[in-house]
Amino acid sequence: MSTAAGLLAFGIVHAWSFGREFSEGTITGLFALPTTRTMVAGAKLLVLCLWVFASTMVLTGVAVLLGAVLGYEPTADTFSLAARLAGSTFLTGALAVVGGLVASICRSMLAGIGSAIVMPVLAQVAVLLGLGGWFPFAAPGVWAATVTGGGVFGIQLAALLVMTAGAASATVYSWHRLRL
C-alpha cells in the first residue's frame, strides 16, 4: 500500500520540481544564471533525495509509534517489518525520479504527473501477471510484502537501483542539453 501511494506521491513531486520551470516559463531565466543547468538539476535531485529519505523516516516512525499507541507489543519481527517499510518506501521514492525525467524530456509538468499515475498502474499489472519482482516499479512492494523471503532477489533490487541511477543521470543530461 505504501509503495503504490508513495510512487504516485513521490512521482508527482518529482514531476512538479522538474516540470514547473517549463510550465511557468522560468526556464529561460536559467540560461542567464552563472550556475549551470546541470548543477540546478543535480541540486534538485539531491534535495528530492533528502526529502524522500526524511519522508521515509517520518512514515516509519509514525507507523511504529501508532503500533505502540494501539497496544501492539514490539517483537523481533516488528523491527524487521519497520525496516522493510523504510526500505520499500525509500526505494519507491528513488524510482520516482522517472517522473522528473519525463517532465524534463517532454518539457511538461503534466507529462511527468501522467507518468507518475501510470507507474503504479503498470506495477499492479506486473504483479497480477506474476512479474512483480522483475518489474522495477513493483519490486519494492513485492519485496516488502514477502516477509518470508523468496519474492524478490538481490539482483532484482540492484537492477532497480541501476535504473534509478540511469534515470537520474538522464535527467541531469537532459537539462545539460536544453536549448531555447
Residues 109-121: pLDDT tens digits? Answer: 999 999 999 999 9
pLDDT at position 148: 60
DSSP structure string for the chain: -HHHHHHHHHHHHHHHHHHHHHHTT-HHHHTTSSS-HHHHHHHHHHHHHHHHHHHHHHHHHHHHHHHHHTTPPP-HHHHHHHHHHHHHHHHHHHHTHHHHHHHHHHT-HHHHHHHHHHHHHHHHHHHHTT-GGGSTTTHHHHHHH-TTS-SS-HHHHHHHHHHHHHHHHHHHHHHHT---
**What does the block give as the cell for 41?**
538539476
For residue 71, what are the contacts with CB-CB under 8 A and spacing of at least 6? Answer: none
Residue 56: what residue type? Answer: T
pLDDT digits (tens, 9 = 90+) for 37-57: 999 999 999 999 999 999 999
pLDDT at position 80: 86
Residue 159: what residue type? Answer: A
pLDDT at position 105: 96
pLDDT at position 144: 84
pLDDT at position 149: 56
Domain spans of the chain, in order of start = 2-176
pLDDT at position 51: 97
pLDDT at position 132: 84
* Low-confidence residues in the chain, pLDDT < 70: 1, 147-150
Neighbours of 13 (CB within 10 A): 21
- Contact between 60 and 82 (Cβ < 8 Å): yes
pLDDT at position 133: 86
pTM listed for this prediction: 0.89
pLDDT at position 179: 86
